[in-house]
Chains A and B, each alone.
Chain A
Amino acid sequence: GIQVEQSPPDLILQEGANSTLRCNFSDSVNNLQWFHQNPWGQLINLFYIPSGTKQNGRLSATTVATERYSLLYISSSQTTDSGVYFCSQPCTPNAGKSTFGDGTTLTVKP
């Protein structure tokens, strides 16, 4: 099946700093999603981004499907950005399952 590799595994930032999280895939990319799991355990949809670039406030994401990776940018980080960021990708285009990366744990310090 598709392998999903996220980097870095852990990231500690000072409030106000910018960061880039990366997701690499072993096979072609489609239906790619980014999630934020907050400290209360909720999985929040950030982006559905099979290709191209999307922006939502301080967050943006870019997927380069031909090169099998996606990037999540967080600008002017806030303490509420802390948590675990996951990317996920279905194993095949119409598969009823997704493979999740192991996540990037982000800690933003005040």
Chain B
Amino acid sequence: DTAVSQTPKYLVTQMGNDKSIKCEQNLGHDTMYWYKQDSKKFLKIMFSYNNKELIINETVPNRFSPKSPDKAHLNLHINSLELGDSAVYFCASSPRVASYNEQFFGPGTRLTVL
């Protein structure tokens, strides 16, 4: 009964490859997010979707493309992977009901680009 799940947990790949990370939430939330955590532990938002619609896109390279097939899923596809893409990627969701917007995070996907 995991609330926010991500697959895979670890991803090791070569530069130039294309990879995807999947995220699913069973909380019934309308809003989902992708965050990137770098080696210094800084957490930065990348994207936010509300009901399958992109609402936030934070100066992320075009090689990153989020896709939301339905409001319970938000996948992240990365083209032409670069060394600097190595990081932990977190998916999150929140209800955004009125002024209540508590976020719940998935376990993270550690991406290593060689």
Instruction: Please pick, from A84, A94, A105, the residue contacting B96 in the complex, using a CB distance under 8 A.
Output: A94
B56 A45 Cβ-Cβ under 8 A? no
A73–chain B nearest beta-carbon distance, Å: 20
Contacts of B103 in A (CB 8 A): 33, 45, 88, 98
Number of interface residues of A (CB under 8 A): 26
Given contacts A41-B88, A43-B108, A84 and B101 within 8 Å (CB-CB): no
Having A30-B99, A94-B101, A103-B41, one finds 20 other A-B pairs with CB under 8 Å, namely: A31-B101, A41-B110, A45-B104, A48-B102, A84-B41, A86-B43, A90-B101, A93-B99, A94-B96, A95-B56, A96-B31, A96-B33, A96-B55, A97-B45, A97-B48, A97-B58, A98-B45, A98-B103, A100-B44, A105-B41
CB-CB nearest 8 A-B residue pairs? A96-B48, A43-B105, A100-B43, A48-B102, A96-B55, A31-B101, A97-B45, A97-B56
